[in-house]
Structure 1
């Protein structure tokens, strides 16, 4: 993967994303601790944590279109500076709770168009499919590792330096990201036009059969994520100590990291799209094993394996970005990411409801896995047929160069 780091643009975006993700995890922990200390309410503490995720839904579906209408480098820089300013305001001591909640909503909304711009720019940087796949693998490994470290050590760091200083650190990460992006990323002209329809990207995605099938396989993560929402009752049902909750939460992302490395190292880029259906089925299929009520060590192995094959998600998004035209790639990515977030939120909520009704977290996870297999098998077969048909079809004629690209 060192080959992709040789590119100056990618290196800047990769490092910017890594420090920002680490700072974001630190902020989530800091805000939860800060609000709980000031209110003593678990509801408010959980609410402030949830607000760091939920506004991304609206931003992903709406504001992501900005990545097609404006210069992507400039958009990333402006969004990073806005996030730095908002997080710095959060660090002001004795900030009223209503203001804190409002500021928390702004940060992920601003982040949505920046992520769409970054995602589209990376495909512009790497036109070679193999190099592009490697760059996405490295991003996946780095961000998941950073999230694990941020969440795992965030509580200790916040306890040591205080919530306000933790927030100032996060503001600093956004400032670093803005500088590195401005200094190293090429300021390309807008890929789309301000006259384009606002939801053209989303319409194009949902109007294309191949992309609909691809996203169906991606959004299975809404079922695969259910064990995370049920980590505490799973640990109890396995007869484990409370600290096992952290192990259960870490097993899947650790598997994802190692699975991503293995796929990147051993599977050539041209073969990876063919494995999407198989790996998607396996990612939910492993969860069916919870039907036998595994012990804690066995449950950790199952979740690790599910996470390892779940690394197919990186290939899904790489293929998605390749299929979507550059001029609508920002809006299309926003639609895909919004669906991913909605599926995760609904999955966790419904998983909790079913577990409450039937009285068993393990049975709930097994049922989620079974439902996932019933969806994944036909979708995977359909994807295989569509992918083979596209591979055997003659190459389309070269499109005329857009005058905006030549400007």
Structure 2
């Protein structure tokens, strides 16, 4: 049993503020996607444009993470996060109130998405600052569960809101949610300082830090382990509509199948995050990656609807594999560029989750949905080969890199971040301490 409890994690004021604001924002993002997709389809009658609208907020994040990621560390976190939510609010208001052509709607959403890795990176850095050791892993577990729950809520409310209010008024509700998230952060979070800058321009520093992170074999391996399985499985999930159609399942089955994976993710995060000891989590990374990928393989055999749902629940539970990587990732990245590191992680997750459905959707059109779903599962299973021995995940000094050696020769990274959780009173500005003198991740992530 983990020695840290969820109550202890929620006892940290800054975490409560970031958790609540981000959960509201994710639900609002999901509602916006549903409303805008309906709005575009109604205006154009194009299924392709509606699908593009669904994913337009993902791919532009590559640009933001590559060019502006260093701003996560260079700017003060509270105004940066508030500004991000305020931009989302303003965009939703424009979409709801102005009769824009479809291309202008898509450009507006894409432009706002460019900044998403920046303020998400700042938020994730703060989470790693205020939560240490196993508390950080539980915090990540909570944010992952909240992300899945918020997406389910956004989908459920989105359908009802669009049906009852119409897409324009549903977008106004989205704007109100983002405004609420911005106010929660502005009122509840301390005005903490930015980290010391290494100097130079933001774009140059962003490129340099990203190159340094990706050049490190250990950091690159941990990034790929968090990017690839998710991208492959999301590719399988994106085919549930086509798969249900080819099987002749009732219309209600589509929503059921799409909800099963987030449900499994909630259960997996709760069980692995709360009931499994920290050292065992690292040993379960490879088995959980297999659990993530093996159930979709069974779709090749066209199982009954109930079995399909159970398979997707089981696969969703496998997402908990990422909990065994969290402390290793925090230990591996440099303190001064930690915000950008989490922005890079978020950028890769969002980008590849946009690419995965496109790739496996193309395969489905060439073969059949069941074979594409099964292949997505097979490719997920192969990523288990990337999982390192658990001793490397438990002890950063065992990794033969400069940072690992530094942490091992000096002090363990958890100790380096502070032996106590700093008392970040959310009303009174505090130094960015508690992490020594250092100043965090996925979408809540």
User: Same fold by TM-score, threshold 0.5 exceeded?
Assistant: yes
User: How far apart, in 2, do the equivalents of 1:213 and 1:15 lie?
Assistant: 31
Q: Distance in 1 between matches of 2:313 and 2:293?
A: 12
1:316-353 Cα shifts (integer Å, max 9, x gaps): 34542343223111221222222223332332122122
Determine if the alignment matches structure 1 residue 396 to structure 2 residue 409: yes
Aligned ranges for residues 264-303 of structure 1 at < 5 Å? 264-303=273-312
**Post-superposition shift, 1:400?**
12
Which is further off, 322-331 or 295-304? 322-331
Change beyond 3 A, Cα 1:206–1:163: same
Question: Deviation per CA, 1:43-85, whole angstroms, max 9, x where unpaired?
Answer: 3322222212222222233322211111112211222222222
Does the 8 Å contact 1:25/1:151 carry over to 2? yes
Structure 2 counterpart SS, 1:294: coil
Aligned-pair distance for 1:232? 2.0
Compared with structure 1, are the counterparts of its residues 231 and 277 closer, same or farther at alpha carbon in structure 2 (3 Å cutoff)? same
Structure 2 equivalent of residue 154 of structure 1: 158
C-alpha spacing 1:370/1:102, structure 2 compared with 1 (3 Å): closer
Quote the residue 2:3 is aligned against: none
Which stretch has the larger CA shift, 258-267 or 44-53? 44-53
Q: Distance in 1 between matches of 2:351 and 2:183?
A: 32
252-261 vs 186-195, which deviates more? Answer: 186-195
Matched, 1:248 2:253: no
- Measure the CA separation in 1 of the matches of 2:250 and 2:113: 35
Asked if 1:81 corresponds to 2:86, the answer is yes
- The yes-or-no answer on 1:208 pairing with 2:216 is yes
Q: Find the aligned partners of 2:175 and 2:157 in 1 and give their Cα distance.
A: 18
Name which of structure 1's ranges 203-212 and 71-80 shifts more when overlaid on structure 2.
203-212
Partner of 1:330: 339
Q: Does 1:387 align with 2:422?
A: no
How many Å apart are 1:290 and its aligned residue?
Answer: 2.5
Which of 131, 135, 138 pairs up with 1:131?
A: 135
Indicate conservation of the 8 Å contact 1:351/1:364, yes or no.
yes
Q: Measure, in 1, the Cα distance between the counterparts of 2:41 and 2:248.
A: 29
Which structure 1 residue ranges, 5 or more long, are not aligned? none
Aligned residues: 403
Change over 3 Å in CA distance of 1:170–1:8 after alignment to 2: same
Between the aligned partners of 1:295 and 1:159, the Cα distance in structure 2 is 31
User: RMSD of aligned C-alpha atoms?
Assistant: 2.7
> In the TM superposition, what are the counterparts of 1:139-178 in structure 2 within 5 Å?
139-178=143-182
1:353 is aligned, of 343, 362, 366, to 362
User: Which residue of structure 1 lines up, in the alignment, with residue 402 of structure 2?
Assistant: none
1:179 aligns with 2:183: yes
Mapped to 1, the partners of 2:207 and 2:98 lie a distance apart of 40
Report the CA distance between 1:308 and its aligned residue: 0.4
CA shift for structure 1 position 3: 2.4
Contact kept in structure 2, 1:123 and 1:322, CA below 8 Å: no
Deviation of 1:154 after TM superposition, in Å, equals 0.5
Measured against aligned partners, the alpha-carbon deviations of 1:155-212 in whole angstroms (never above 9, x if no partner) come to 2112212222222222222222222212222322222416152223322322222222
Q: Counterpart in 1 of 2:71?
A: 66
Q: Unpaired runs of 5+ in structure 2? A: 1-5, 399-404, 419-430, 440-445
Deviates more, 1:217-226 or 1:313-322: 313-322
Deviation at 1:114, TM superposition (A): 1.0
TM-score, length of structure 1 as denominator length: 0.90
Q: How much does 1:107 deviate?
A: 2.3
CA contact (8 A) 2:137 2:327 kept: yes
CA distance in 2, matches of 1:400, 1:159: 49
1:251-262 superposed matches below 5 A? 251-262=260-271
| Separation (CA, whole Å) in 1 of partners of 2:265 and 2:13 | 27
Please give the alpha-carbon distance, in whole angstroms, between the structure 2 residues aligned to 1:86 and 1:395.
Answer: 47
Which residue pairs with 1:115 in the alignment?
120
Relative to 1, partners in 2 of residues 1:62 and 1:149: Cα closer, same or farther, differing over 3 Å?
same
Q: Provide TM-score, normalisation by structure 2.
A: 0.83
The 8 Å contact of residues 10 and 122 in structure 1, kept in 2 or not, is answered as yes
Using the TM superposition, give the Cα deviation of residue 314 of structure 1 relative to its aligned residue in structure 2, in angstroms.
4.2
Shift in Å, 1:271: 3.3
3-state SS of the aligned residue for 1:83?
helix
Do the aligned partners of 1:130 and 1:268 also contact (CA within 8 Å) in 2?
no
